[in-house]
Amino acid sequence: MPKPLSARTRKSAAGKPDHLDFLCDVGELTAVVTDSADLGACLQRLTTLVAQHLHTAVCSIYLADDSGQSLVLRATVGLNPAAVGTTRLKAGEGLAGQAFKELRPVLDNHASRNPQFKAFPAIGEEPFDCFLAVPIHRGAAHIGVLCVQRRRNQPFQTEDAKALQTVASQLAGLIGNVQALLAQPAAGGGPLPVRRGGMRLLRGQPVSGGSATGPALVVAAGPSPAKTAVPEPAGGTEADLARAAEETARQIKDLQDRIARRLPEAASLIFDAHLLMLHDDGFVGEMRRLARAGRPARTAVREVAAKYTAIFAASPQAYLREKVKDIEDIAQRLLANLEPAARREESAAGSIVIARDLYPSDIVRRWAEGAKGFVLTSGGVTTHVAILARSLQLPAVIADAPELAAVAPGTPLLVDGDTGNLYLQPRADVLKRFAEGERTRTTAHQRAAEMRDSTFTRDGERITLRANINLLGEVALARDLKAEGIGLYRTEFPFLIRTAFPTEEEQAALYARLVAGMPGRTVTFRTLDVGGEKALAYFNQGREANPELGLRSIRFCFRHPDIFTAQVRAILRAGATAKVLRVMFPMISSLDEFRAARQVVLGCAEALRAEGIPHAAHPAIGMMIELPAVVELIDAFAAEADFFSVGTNDFVQYMLGADRGNELVADAYCPHHPAVLRALAQVVAGAARHGKELTVCGEMAHRPEYLPLLVGLGVRTFSVDPHHLPDMQARLAALDLTQAQALAREILADPTIAGIARRLHLPAKPA
């Protein structure tokens, strides 16, 4: 039997369950549950405790399976225990499935009469007609359902639903972690089997090029609030704790300095919170007070960390839940420094990290620890995670194989980011071949000597090549490769890789470094482009049915003018010394939007002038062309915008209604679709009529099969990731403009994808 909760949680003076006192005991409840090493037992004890408090005959927990589309009964009190693990519901099926799908409580004291009710004769719930289910979720992430049932003459009240909701929210993080572990493959009850001495090849999709070898490190999705509650040998005094805190602060500062040299966007944004906590009287100060009172230092660290972890994990605010990672990191560092021989749990040093989902900030953290590569098992990846991995030169692949979550820690892996292949226990000859390939790989830095100051086609047509910059560490490479400026700086990275919105001052300091790194050259800032696939981990703007068509990019900025204004002011301040400062807006769909966004820039410039703050008083103001709505209005836009940049990734996606990140519609995402190319030709011609520069900066810009076509259409400015510049210049030098123009005319006259594919020497799209 589980140990009982304190007596005050049983009943109030009126004889009813005292929900307030029960909620005060949620911390005790969590501790009871996490005390068990058996996951099934954890859930079983939880159902027993909830049933005892609410005086219900039945309490059950259903958790989502790997697909997220079905629920599996994982624990129950009052129903047939044989149904655990075998009873399943689809999302929306039955009352429990309805609560899960709609993320709302379902209360029905006559459940069997409800048309949504689904009966399972084998589980023995016939006598229990009073039914209450609440969803277990973290934000929009569906985890499962907590259900309670009573007999027909014992109805549930509204306050019961509220209490159960609160319990579910308090325990969402814990149950989510249990769910993740339960979802691991159960074959043999152990790690993914690999033949002794045998190599296994998994074919995936490439995310970031290069190859890397190292031992496997499987990272559970999301924070683990219970991590610091794992029993450890107690020991240490207050003096030991003070020394450990000083050593931890020194280590973090060293790490911060190292990152600042390679990734200045992230250094202060990630680790300042750590340093503040180490000097916080309510955090380390509380640990020291416990140690001073006689508690072993290691115990003090665990108890205080567990307390704050529970508080933050239960917060409805996403940015506060993110603090769990900071607390866990600091606690593990303190424990390691209390016993120097100990090693930090889950250190990524030298390893290949396997994870289902990663935020950009997770990539930075693991890179800082020394990870050599990444394997993502979710079947998809956001563009910005991919860009960040490439910028940090971390090989990465997507291997849509959930069984990788059960790979034994330390299993030798080889990641081939060029082909998407993953080798488990690679043979010696395979390791040798890849090692030789890495030694002979020519880096972009080594090709700098090949670059000429200006780019021309074979017959002398001038082409401008600029660089797309994601991280400040890439500026030096762009400069060495003689980029004629920055055609696109993605300003969202400082927002994506941190745990709170950067201030105007923080942004201005970063942007100034960008401008200083490209003296005398054009620098183009794209304003904040978040939302959709570029979700901010610390900002929950609510669930959207279709985020790519929702509150993203310029729409997000208009909805949050304080964020937009702070960024524009920072850009203008940083651009005070720029030769040519350009500001462009993403996802513009109407002339009204462009004018409104331009007015924000002009208003910020006027405010800075009035405040006497140095700034770029007259920046060039332009826009991205990404939406079909712009095509028919190109002349109106060209009469007012100073320049254009075509983001071909989104342009193709929205022209064809095909999500470029969805492998199910990969065949429908087709850059050489005739409608896409004709629309592109229309905007190129419109910009030319008004003498406005148009740049192509998406994936099409650097793909060799599209380069002759784009030049033939009239594109004379390209902006690509720096490492593509040498190949781009070489291909353009071999290109004949007359032939390119003839090719463009032929392709624009062809109404079929297959015909265009033949002319571009591409494989035809399946019918």
> What would the pLDDT profile of 101-118 be if each residue is shown by its tens digit?
888 899 999 998 998 888
**384 included as an active-site residue:** yes
SS3 1: coil
Say how far apart CA 295 and CA 298 lie, in whole Å: 8
Asked whether the beta carbons of 589 and 525 are under 8 A apart, the reply is no
* Residue 632 tokens, joined: 């028919």
SS3 187: helix
Asked whether the beta carbons of 115 and 37 are under 8 A apart, the reply is no
* Residue 42 tokens, joined: 């954890």
* Residue 575 tokens, joined: 């651009």
Q: Which uninterrupted H or E stretch holds 109?
A: none
Say how far apart CA 82 and CA 609 lie, in whole Å: 74
Dihedral-angle region of residue 599 (phi above 0 means left; psi in -120 to 50 means alpha; beta otherwise): alpha
Helices marked H in 215-369 — which ranges?
238-262, 267-278, 284-292, 297-313, 318-321, 323-338, 360-369
Q: Which uninterrupted H or E stretch holds 467?
A: strand 462-469
Chain segment 362-419, per-residue pLDDT in tens? 777 788 788 999 998 865 555 556 767 877 788 998 887 777 877 888 899 999 887 7
**pLDDT attached to residue 153:** 86
286: burial class by Cβ within 10 Å (0-12, 13-18, 19+)? middle
Say how far apart CA 43 and CA 178 lie, in whole Å: 8
Q: How far is CA 322 from CA 169, 229, 262, in A?
A: 16, 18, 24
Whether domain 7-183 has CATH 3.30.450.40: yes
Count of beta carbons in the 10 Å neighbourhood of residue 444: 19
Q: Return the domain boundaries, the chain.
A: 7-183, 234-338, 638-767
Say how far apart CA 214 and CA 512 lie, in whole Å: 38
Say how far apart CA 129 and CA 421 lie, in whole Å: 53
* Residue 181 tokens, joined: 């572990």
> Residues 3-29, buried b or exposed e (16+ Cβ, 10 A)?
eebeeebbeeeeeebbbebbbebbeeb
**697 included as an active-site residue:** yes
Query: In CATH, what is the architecture of 234-338?
Result: Orthogonal Bundle (1.10)
**pLDDT attached to residue 42:** 72
Tokens 């690999």, residue?
194
Question: What are the average pLDDT values for consecutive 10-residue runs of the chain, which has 767 residues?
Answer: 38 46 44 45 81 88 80 91 89 91 89 88 85 79 86 86 75 52 37 53 81 86 40 69 89 74 62 75 88 90 89 68 74 81 61 79 76 80 65 83 81 86 84 66 71 94 95 87 95 74 86 93 94 66 72 90 93 95 97 97 96 96 97 97 96 90 79 97 98 95 94 97 92 95 97 94 67
Q: Which uninterrupted H or E stretch holds 480?
A: helix 475-480
Which one is catalytic: 673, 697, 723, 724? 697
pTM of the model: 0.58
Beta strand extents in 78-181 (DSSP E only): 88-90, 106-108, 130-138, 141-150
Comparing CA positions, the residue from 123, 118, 141, 33 lying closest to residue 133 is 118
In order, the DSSP letters of 297-311 are: HHHHHHHHHHHHHHH
Decide whether 7-183 matches 234-338 in CATH topology: no
**pLDDT attached to residue 664:** 76
Whether domain 638-767 has CATH 3.20.20.60: yes
**pLDDT attached to residue 211:** 86
Phi, psi (deg, nearest 5) at residue 490: -80, 95
**pLDDT attached to residue 313:** 80
**pLDDT attached to residue 690:** 97
Q: How far is CA 556 from CA 116, 269, 527, 530, 704, in A?
A: 38, 22, 11, 7, 35
Q: Beta 421-424 vs 455-456: how paired, if at all? A: unpaired
Which one is catalytic: 19, 53, 274, 384? 384
Say how far apart CA 9 and CA 6 lie, in whole Å: 6
